[in-house]
Amino acid sequence: MALAFSGGLDTTVCVPLLEEEYGYDDVIGVTVDVGQPESEFEEAEETADALDLEHYVVDAKDEFAELCLDSVRANATYQGYPLGTALARPVIAEAILEVAEEQGCEGIAHGCTGKGNDQLRFEAVWRDSDLEVIAPVRELGLTREWEQEYAAEKDLPVEGGSGGDWSIDTNLWSRSVEGDDLEDPSYVPPEDIYAWTQAPTGDTQEIEISFEQGYPVAVDGVEYEPVELIEHLNGVAGAYGVGRTDSMEDRMLGLKVRENYEHPAATTLLNAHVALEGLVLTQEEREFKQLIDQRWSKKGYEGLVDAPLVGALEGFIAETQKRVTGTVTIRFEGGQARAVARDSDYAAYSAEHASFDTETVGKIKQEDATGVAKYHGFQRRLANEAIAANADDEEVELATDGSGDATETTESASDGSDVGTEEDE
């Protein structure tokens, strides 16, 4: 049995439970590196040693970084924040599955609950295999309190089962913080929930990001490999408070949860990419690509980046990105990463044509727009005239119908009073 292993409370209690409840005497733990802090690997290794658990660590940072930069070309966000955890899960799941198959495992397990998204993202990958998929926490209906008591009873190597006040997930692209007081939407988070970003100040800085076919490749003229590029920008942009999101997020199962995120590099690159697309793509391309990007983002959030639909969407994305080559100047100020300049040989823009200081637009004279202006809104004018004319007729008809009803009522009343008089007589 291969277990997705972090060394935290959930995955730690899963080790003996897989033996006691599911009959798996031989369990191996697999930890996948997608950019977590070194301390997390140390904790996982120490916990694995204490459990006498065979432990594998897989470096998948390069694969994950490449997927993150693919997401930049798709301007991938979900409900206002860059996808991070969602993109990491399929990469982690694939790496764990490879180890499980190499080691001849019959089953594969995770420590996710039945309330979150990650169970779906992991299992979407694993259920392509012939391995038995097990989710002890979900299937046994475990609570955090039960796990803590169980860990104490079994003397498992966990620090009270909480690991701190917050539940934190970190990878190259983002850092998410949730749980405890943060579950209350009215609670104002303290500054100490943040680790990647400093509180914004009045300081500013400008950097230049270079793109080739939609992929960021250099900062201030220095070329970086994907992992190095993301790490570099996390440090530079984070120092100016860039990339904080406090979100009420709608999960796939329908629950609404509060999440706090840090994503300085992601925010910077996405803003720069959108700015460059605005320079080189036509209006039609930009409008249609928004639909493509939304669908890519939705599949990314679901952890289904290998779906046939995504491949089809990426065909369109790749075609548009052939011209998304150039540079964007980003200014960091007030916690924002704002595009303040952009340049490309593929710009669908002419300063001469757009200038108020030139009389013509190429061979087009300004007076040529008169005919367009006359036609512009023509159908609207016709429709409004028809609505107004018919509204007058309807008012007259209503007034006529109303007086007719009043007459009939009066006549009926008169008839009634006559009858009443006869009866009185």
What is the total count of domains within the chain? 2
Instruction: Indicate whether 300 belongs to any domain.
Output: yes
Instruction: Indicate whether 390 belongs to any domain.
Output: no
Q: Which residue has the tokens 């409370």?
A: 9
Average pLDDT, rounded, for the chain: 90
Instruction: Indicate whether 379 belongs to any domain.
Output: no
Residues 148 and 208 reside in one and the same domain:
no
Q: Is the pLDDT of residue 423 over 50?
A: no
Count of CB atoms situated within 10 Å of the CB of 37: 12
Instruction: Indicate whether 294 belongs to any domain.
Output: yes
Q: Which amino acid is residue 393, in one-letter code?
A: D
Binding residues for L-citrulline: 81, 117, 121, 167, 176, 249, 261
Residues 259 and 137 reside in one and the same domain:
no
Q: Which residue has the tokens 């009073």?
A: 417
Residues 313 and 221 reside in one and the same domain:
yes
Binding residues for L-aspartate: 113, 117-118
How does pLDDT run across 364-397, given as a tens digit for each residue? Answer: 888 888 989 899 999 999 999 999 989 877 777 7
DSSP-derived letter for residue 168 is: E
Q: Is the pLDDT of residue 20 over 70?
A: yes
Residues 139 and 202 reside in one and the same domain:
no
The CATH number assigned to the domain holding 237 equals: 3.90.1260.10
Residue 418 dihedral angles phi and psi, to the nearest 5°: -65, -45
Residues 52 and 197 reside in one and the same domain:
no
Instruction: Indicate whether 205 belongs to any domain.
Output: yes
Angle at 262 between CA 261 and CA 265, to 5 degrees: 135
Q: Given 292, 312, 343, which residue is the final one in a domain?
A: 343
Confidence of residue 160 (pLDDT cuts 50, 70, 90): very low
Per-residue pLDDT, 180: 85
Q: Is the pLDDT of residue 410 over 60?
A: no
Q: Given 327, 343, 359, which residue is the final one in a domain?
A: 343
Angle at 269 between CA 264 and CA 272, to 5 degrees: 125
Instruction: Indicate whether 414 belongs to any domain.
Output: no
Residues 110 and 245 reside in one and the same domain:
no
Angle at 120 between CA 119 and CA 123, to 5 degrees: 85
Instruction: Indicate whether 413 belongs to any domain.
Output: no
Per-residue pLDDT, 411: 45
By residue range, what is the domain housing residue 309?
A: 192-343
Strand ranges across the sheet with 2-4: 54-59, 28-33, 2-4, 107-109, 132-134
Residues 287 and 333 reside in one and the same domain:
yes
Strand ranges across the sheet with 167-170: 167-170, 175-178, 256-262, 244-250
Mean pLDDT over residues 26-41, rounded?
Answer: 96
Taking the C-alpha atoms of residue 27 and residue 2, their distance in angstroms, rounded to an integer, is 6
User: Among all residues, which ones are annotated catalytic?
Assistant: 10, 89, 118, 167
Residues 6+ apart with CB under 8 A from 277: 75, 286, 289, 320, 324
Residue closest to 196 by CA, chosen among 230, 219, 223: 230
Residues 7 and 95 reside in one and the same domain:
yes
Mean pLDDT over residues 311-327, rounded?
Answer: 98
Residues 289 and 215 reside in one and the same domain:
yes
Taking the C-alpha atoms of residue 109 and residue 27, their distance in angstroms, rounded to an integer, is 10
Per-residue pLDDT, 394: 72
Residues 213 and 104 reside in one and the same domain:
no
Q: Is the pLDDT of residue 351 over 90?
A: no
Q: Is the pLDDT of residue 258 over 80?
A: yes
DSSP letters for 332-359: EETTEEEEEEEE-TT-S--HHHH-TT-S
The CATH number assigned to the domain holding 108 equals: 3.40.50.620
Taking the C-alpha atoms of residue 84 and residue 39, their distance in angstroms, rounded to an integer, is 20
Strands 81-82 and 77-78 turn out to be antiparallel
Residues 143 and 20 reside in one and the same domain:
yes
Residues 123 and 256 reside in one and the same domain:
no
Q: Given 295, 312, 343, which residue is the final one in a domain?
A: 343
Q: Is the pLDDT of residue 7 over 50?
A: yes
Per-residue pLDDT, 128: 94
For 64-68, 84-88, 285-289, 402-406, which range has the lowest pLDDT when averaged over its residues?
A: 402-406
Binding residues for ATP: 4-12, 111
Binding residues: 4-12, 81, 111, 113, 117-118, 121, 167, 176, 249, 261
Mean pLDDT over residues 13-31, rounded?
Answer: 96
Instruction: Indicate whether 315 belongs to any domain.
Output: yes
Say if residues 78 and 121 touch (Cβ distance below 8 Å).
no
